[in-house]
């Protein structure tokens, strides 16, 4: 084959390889270009849709509103607190012995003086009889010594015996009286041990889990005892309040006026009990700037339980006809507290708020809003000063006929 023909074939093969490479990359590029075109069209359509609706940034924000009113509001101070029982007693055995009976159920309410366990009384009965016999013997000896003393006195008056003999007999009588007195103490001790063999509840309250079973030998030095009894009604709650509220509360206590206190759950939503302030501690904690207070509650429904965490609200005064807003309207910002007030043109204005006191869902303010106005309580995180708002619409209940249709559709 001529050289020219060979070169021609080589050039044709080179052109064919480049054409294949171009064809390989041309298809993905065409797909990418098509997708970019669709995205541009979609973005253009979205922009047109937003322009038709008036713009996304200017769309009204859906909010919930609350009223600004005039009302009497209690002045309260909140405190983190812990439920503390008035009395907690670990029931201990006062004598050594074997447990014969357990007379309580775990978690049972017991009364003071109620028998809750019995220890084997037989050793103490034996001791009692021994002490009683010893006392009888020594009392008889003392009686003989007293008769001899009367004889010696008669003989001494007749100058028949020496004075030393009379003095000795008087000493024997006194010695016998001391022995009898000691015997009486031993007898009382044996009788007391008989009583201690019946373990009783020292206070009224709720008894906890049993720490010992029947058949075990117990001792007064046992660490755990038999069980723990905790007084639950009434019960106290101990918390801490800021020191700047101390003087106002002390003045109220000095007037001997009861200070109402409410206990709320951990979430500070559900009220558990109502009571009164019992006392205030005698010093301020310098590390926290707070002072401890103790409140007492009737706990008939056992809503308060020992060591439970609660929130206290101490009410030490009342604001008469104060400007009141929903607590949810008050917000905290870099420049302090603020709220949003609704304007007549359906826009909102940001106002600085000065809080006087807060009580649950209501807060008294001295600055920020006036009675008759409305403030935003829901949707605040999407607002800014001057934003347009609209009231959130609530769904109305469906008519009975419509409900039946919906039920049929859902069931079909």
Token couple for 120: 């084997």
C-alpha span between 144 and 86 (Å, rounded): 57
Q: What's the pLDDT score for residue 318?
A: 84
pLDDT at residue 34, as a whole number: 53
Tokens in use for 144? Answer: 């003989």
Q: For the chain, what percentages of helix, strand and coil (3-state, to nearest 5) are there?
A: 35, 35, 30
Question: Cα Rg for the chain, rounded, in angstroms?
Answer: 46
Looking at residue 397, its pLDDT comes to 34
Quickly list DSSP for 121-188: -HHHHHHHHHHHHHHHHHHHHHHHHHHHHHHHHHHHHTT-S-HHHHHHHHHHHHHHHHHHHHHHHHHH
E strand intervals along 190-346:
198-200, 205-207, 217-218, 227-230, 235-242, 260-264, 271-285, 290-297, 309-326, 331-333, 336-342
For range 378-395, the mean pLDDT: 81
Beta bridge partner(s), residue 293: 239, 280
Q: Is 379:392 a contact under the CB 8 Å cutoff?
A: yes
Judged against a pLDDT cut of 80, whether residue 117 lies above it is answered with yes
* Residue 95: CB atoms within 10 Å: 19
With bands split at pLDDT 50, 70 and 90, how would you rate the model's confidence at 44? very low
pLDDT digits (tens, 9 = 90+) for 124-145: 999 999 999 999 999 999 999 9
Distance CA 352, CA 333 (A): 10
pLDDT above 70: percentage of residues in the chain:
81
Task: Write down the residue that tokens 């600004």 correspond to.
Answer: 68
* Burial of 40: CB neighbours in 10 Å, binned 0-12, 13-18, 19+: exposed
Alpha-carbon distances of 32 from 25, 26, 209, rounded to whole Å: 11, 10, 74
Q: Poorest-confidence range of 224-238, 330-344, 390-404?
A: 390-404
Geometric angle at alpha carbon 358, from 354 and 361, rounded to 5°: 120
Q: What pLDDT does residue 317 have?
A: 84
pLDDT at residue 3 in the model: 46
Q: Which helix (H) or strand (E) holds 65?
A: strand 61-67
> In whole angstroms, what is the distance from residue 305 CA to residue 226 CA?
21
Give the model's confidence band at 319: pLDDT under 50 very low, under 70 low, under 90 confident, else very high: confident
* Number of other residues whose CB lies within 10 A of the CB of residue 134: 17
Query: Parallel, antiparallel, or unpaired: how do β-strands 309-326 and 69-84 relate?
Result: antiparallel
Q: Whole-number mean pLDDT of the chain?
A: 84
Q: Is the pLDDT of residue 409 over 70?
A: no
């Amino acid at each position: 084959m001529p050289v020219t023909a060979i070169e021609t074939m080589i050039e044709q093969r080179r052109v064919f390889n480049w054409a294949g490479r171009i064809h390989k990359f041309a298809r993905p590029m065409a797909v990418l270009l098509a997708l970019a075109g669709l995205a541009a069209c979609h973005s253009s359509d979205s922009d047109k849709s937003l322009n038709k609706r008036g713009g996304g940034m200017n769309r009204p924000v859906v909010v919930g509103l609350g009223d600004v009113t005039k009302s009497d509001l209690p002045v309260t101070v909140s405190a983190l607190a812990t439920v503390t029982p008035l009395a907690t007693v670990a029931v201990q055995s006062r004598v050594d012995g074997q447990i014969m009976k357990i007379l309580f159920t775990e978690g049972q309410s017991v009364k003071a003086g109620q028998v809750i366990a019995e220890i084997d009384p037989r050793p103490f009965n034996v001791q009692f009889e021994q002490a009683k016999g010893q006392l009888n013997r020594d009392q008889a000896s003392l009686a003989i010594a007293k008769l001899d003393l009367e004889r010696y006195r008669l003989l001494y008056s007749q100058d028949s015996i020496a004075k030393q003999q009379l003095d000795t007999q008087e000493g024997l009588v006194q010695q016998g009286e001391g022995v009898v007195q000691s015997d009486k103490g031993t007898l009382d001790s044996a009788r007391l041990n008989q009583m201690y063999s019946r373990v009783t509840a020292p206070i009224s309250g709720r008894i906890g889990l049993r720490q010992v079973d029947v058949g075990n030998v117990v001792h007064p030095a046992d660490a755990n005892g038999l069980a723990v009894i905790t007084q639950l009604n009434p019960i106290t709650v101990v918390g801490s309040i800021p020191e700047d509220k101390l003087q106002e509360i002390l003045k109220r206590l000095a007037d001997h006026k009861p200070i109402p206190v409410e206990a709320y759950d951990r979430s500070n939503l559900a009220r558990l009990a109502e009571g009164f302030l019992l006392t205030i501690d005698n010093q301020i904690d310098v590390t926290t700037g707070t002072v401890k207070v103790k409140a007492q509650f009737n706990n008939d429904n056992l809503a308060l339980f020992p060591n439970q965490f609660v929130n206290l609200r101490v009410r030490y005064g009342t604001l008469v006809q104060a400007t009141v807003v929903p607590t949810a309207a008050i917000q905290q910002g870099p420049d302090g507290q603020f709220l949003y007030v609704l304007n007549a043109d359906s826009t909102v204005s940001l106002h600085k708020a000065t809080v006087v006191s807060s009580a649950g869902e209501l807060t008294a303010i001295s600055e920020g809003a006036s009675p008759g106005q409305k403030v935003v309580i829901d949707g605040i995180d999407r607002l800014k000063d001057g934003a347009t708002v609209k009231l959130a619409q609530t769904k109305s209940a469906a008519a009975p006929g419509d409900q039946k249709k919906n039920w049929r559709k859902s069931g079909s």
